[in-house]
Amino acid sequence: MSELEVRELRYFIAVAEELNFSRAAQRLGMAQPPLSKAIAQVESRLGVRLLERTTRQVRLTDAGRVLLDQARIAVDAVHAAARRARRAGQPTPHLVVAVKPEGDAGLLREILDAYRGAGPHLPPPEVVVGGSGEPIAMLRDGRADVALLRSPFDDQGLDSQTLVVEPRLAVLPAAHPLAGRRRLRLADLEGEPIPRWRGAAPSATAYYTGCDGAEADDGRAGAAPADAPEGPLVASVEQLLEVVALGQAVAFLSLSTTKRHQRPDIAYRPVAGLSPSAVVVAWPETSRSTAVAAFVRAAHDVAAHHPDHVTAPTA
């Protein structure tokens, strides 16, 4: 059995995502008959049905769902390989480091200094600051070589090492009744609207809303806000702080982030049972780059002097 071609995977992804051959063909810029023929040839070659077709709808089979997941990874990997090859062939290659604002726990500058001090043979670092979700997307599609991320994130195809784990605090309007307490429980915030981060996956939304199975101080399961009302959509820490200050929501932020954003109209309070925030250095699991390895070593060495450093690496 011959291997599937990237072109065929792209065809299948379009059909599987659209669940409509006409829309998929339009998306691909081709006629529908050759698209249908190509999908039929893929099914014949694999010996399984990928799609269930009726006159009214198209549905994925179990085999189709598996192929969709794997095809996305494969196509992304091909595109990433091309981008990395182009960048490696530039006259002055760089190590591209992706990070989002507030995503480094204050470690990035020290890590860059340690990396630069590792030797003149290493390519210079180029830091790209992206919005929520961009650093990991850049890592997957080849625009970045390494990234500083905050958990949770989809680590499929990536290696990673946890650098620091720091507590998160509740973010409240200064006039909120709970702002007068020194310490809160998750249950105290039940019924409060919590901002949703634009484009966040379900696991990330559970984390941002405190519903990700945190533990209480005694090691038992913590009581998370039950069915927290949806607050405004936000895309940055600054936007989140504004909606909190206006009394539209409460939120949770890492300790290092709260230290950078002290405001008279905002109160930060510890929350018993709230899951912490981890800062992670991540890179493609297929990477064999000496520059990436040097950056990871520099990140580990710098984080080792941080009070919240994690001694056991996670991969």
Convert the pLDDT of each residue in 195-219 to its tens digit.
998 877 788 888 988 888 655 444 4
pTM over 0.75: no
Residue 124: both structure tokens together: 């210079």
Q: Measure the CA–CA gap between 26 and 3, rounded to whole angstroms.
A: 26
Give the closest residue to 53 by CA, choosing from 74, 32, 84, 70: 32
Residue 184: both structure tokens together: 């809160």
Q: Which CATH number fits domain 6-85: 1.20.1250.20, 1.10.10.10, 1.20.140.10, 3.40.50.150?
A: 1.10.10.10
Print pLDDT tens along the chain (315 aa).
468 899 999 999 999 999 999 999 999 999 999 999 999 999 999 999 999 988 788 999 999 999 998 998 888 888 888 877 877 777 878 999 999 888 899 999 999 999 999 988 999 999 999 887 889 888 888 899 999 999 888 888 899 999 999 999 999 999 999 999 999 999 999 999 999 988 777 888 889 888 886 554 444 444 445 566 788 999 889 999 999 999 999 999 999 999 999 999 999 999 998 999 999 999 998 888 999 999 999 999 999 987 766 544 443
pLDDT value at position 311? 46
CB atoms within 10 A of CB 82: 12
Q: Measure the CA–CA gap between 309 and 5, rounded to whole angstroms.
A: 45
CATH topology identical between 93-163+278-303 and 168-275: yes
Is domain 168-275 in CATH 3.30.1360.120, yes or no?
A: no
CATH superfamily of the 93-163+278-303 domain: Periplasmic binding protein-like II (3.40.190.10)
Convert the pLDDT of each residue in 28-46 to its tens digit.
999 999 999 999 999 999 9
Q: Which amino acid is at 226?
A: A
Domain residues of the chain, as ranges? 6-85, 93-163+278-303, 168-275
What are the CB-based long-range contacts (under 8 Å, 24+) for 222-228?
A: 222/186, 222/272, 222/273, 222/274, 223/185, 223/186, 223/187, 223/273, 224/186, 224/273, 225/186, 225/187, 225/189, 225/190, 225/191, 225/192, 225/194, 226/190, 228/189, 228/190, 228/191, 228/192, 228/193, 228/194
